[in-house]
Every structure is written in structure tokens, then in C-alpha cells.
Structure 1
Amino acid sequence: MSEDEIRAVVLEELGNIAPEADMSAVDPKADLREELDIDSMDFLNFITALHDRLGVNVPELDYPKLTTVDGAVVYLQGKRTE
């Protein structure tokens, strides 16, 4: 799966969690919780959705690596190639 495809999945799942947000305006380097005003439960739902879509297990210790769009893409791409 390419970086662009992973980015599309990340943005789609964020859009499902924060439907009122404009995903095209999300700063890929900004903290998702602040940028989209999501709480910890929303973030956990996001992680679960990524696992379901991409088959990547994300241990709790790695959650901070997925707090930005860019961080999530890099992390997920690395895990899918392992």
C-alpha cells in the first residue's frame, strides 16, 4: 500500500470520527486531538478503525506516534512493510 493510499485511509477514518471537520484543511503536522477537537475515546476509535482497515496492531505505547496525520502515515507504512 502506498503512502498516498495510507494517507487517504487515515483521513477517511478521521472524517468518520470528526464528520464536521474539513479533512482537506487538516494540517498534517498538527496534533489531531487539538486540530479536530477529539477526545481520548475518539482517538481510540480512530486507532481501532485503522487496525480494522489496515490490519496493523498499534500498542498503547505507540499511540503518541499517531497523533498527527504525517506521524500516523509514517508509522502505519513502516508497520505494513515489517
Structure 2
Amino acid sequence: MNQADARELMRSVLRPIAPEADIDTVGAHETLQEALDLDSIDFLEFVTGLAAATGREIPESDYAQLSTVEGCVGYLTSP
């Protein structure tokens, strides 16, 4: 998966959770929860959605890596 695909996947997973969310307005190091006003349940749904969409198991220890756009893109594009 390349960076553009990762961003599009993030958009598609976020759409049902936060329809008004626009990841393009979020700074690379800004947390998704703060920038998009996601609560902890929303963030868990986001992570679960990413796992389902990619077929990857995402351990709880990796959740912090998914807290920013840059971290999420890096995580999704890693082998």
C-alpha cells in the first residue's frame, strides 16, 4: 500500500464514524482524536475498521502509532 492508498483507506474508515472529518486538514503530528473530536470509542472503531479493511491484526500496543495521520500512514505502508 502506498501513502495515497493509506490516506484513502483512513478516509473510508473514518467516514461512518465521523462523517464531517477531513484528514487533509489535520496536521501530520496532530492527534486524530483531538483534531477530529473523536472519543475513545470512535478511535477504537477506527482502529478496528483499519484492521478489518487491511486484514491485519493491530495489537493494542500499536494503537499509539495510529494516533496521528503521519503515524497511521507509516503504519499502513509498512510491510
Q: Please classify the TM superposition score into its range, dividing by the shorter chain length.
A: 0.7 to 0.9
**After the TM superposition, which of the residue ranges 16-25 and 41-50 deviates more from structure 2?**
16-25
Partner residue in 2 for 1:55: 55
Is the CA contact (8 Å cut-off) linking 1:15 and 1:23 kept in structure 2?
no
- State the aligned residue count: 79
Q: Distance in 1 between matches of 2:3 and 2:21?
A: 22
**Superposition TM-score, scaled by structure 1 size:** 0.84
Percent same amino acid at aligned positions? Answer: 43
CA shift in 2, pair 1:6/1:21, >3 Å: closer
- Give the 5 Å matches for 1:1-20: 1-20=1-20
TM-score normalised according to structure 2 size: 0.87
Q: In structure 2, what is the Cα distance between the partners aligned to 1:6 and 1:20?
A: 19
Q: Which runs of 5+ in 1 are unaligned?
A: none
Q: CA deviation at 1:28?
A: 3.1
Q: Runs in 1 of length 4+ with deviation above 6 angstroms?
A: none
Cα root mean square deviation, aligned: 1.4
